[in-house]
Amino acid sequence: MEDIVYKKESDNGFDDTIVSVLKAVEKKGWTVFGIYEVHKRLAAKGFSQEPLAIIEICSAKHANKLLSINRMVSLCMPCRINVIAAKGKTIIAAIKPTGVSAFFDGISEKDAKEIEDDLMGIIENAV
């Protein structure tokens, strides 16, 4: 499983890392669809978790291309970058599109790699 996950440790705290990711997404020309602070939603139901944010992002160029090939790829949309606080560390992580592209007819590894390169660049620019 670890081979389909790209992750980097951030030197910043949880909230600052979220801001860094958002800036990196904007710099790359992608769009933020939403931010879900999972730990807050769980706390509202009486559960305690370390901070965890799921940031949904999309590149219109990549989305349009893949949807034109196979609309079932929408099951993996939008892309997500997670900011995870664990044991005093802050991690930025995403699933590598090349790890799931084979599940969808017509989606080439080359197409998935282009998206993956963008995601990895966003994460690298955020750490």
Question: In CATH, what number is assigned to the domain containing residue 19?
Answer: 3.30.310.70
Number of domains in the chain: 1
Q: What pLDDT sits at residue 1?
A: 53
- Give the residue from 1, 13, 24, 4 showing the smallest Cα distance to 90: 13
Give tens-digit pLDDT for 83-125: 999 999 999 999 999 988 889 999 999 999 999 999 999 999 9
Instruction: Give me the amino acid identity at 83.
Output: V
Residue 29 has pLDDT above 90, yes or no: yes
Q: pLDDT band for position 59 (50/70/90)?
A: very high
Range of the domain at 30: 2-126
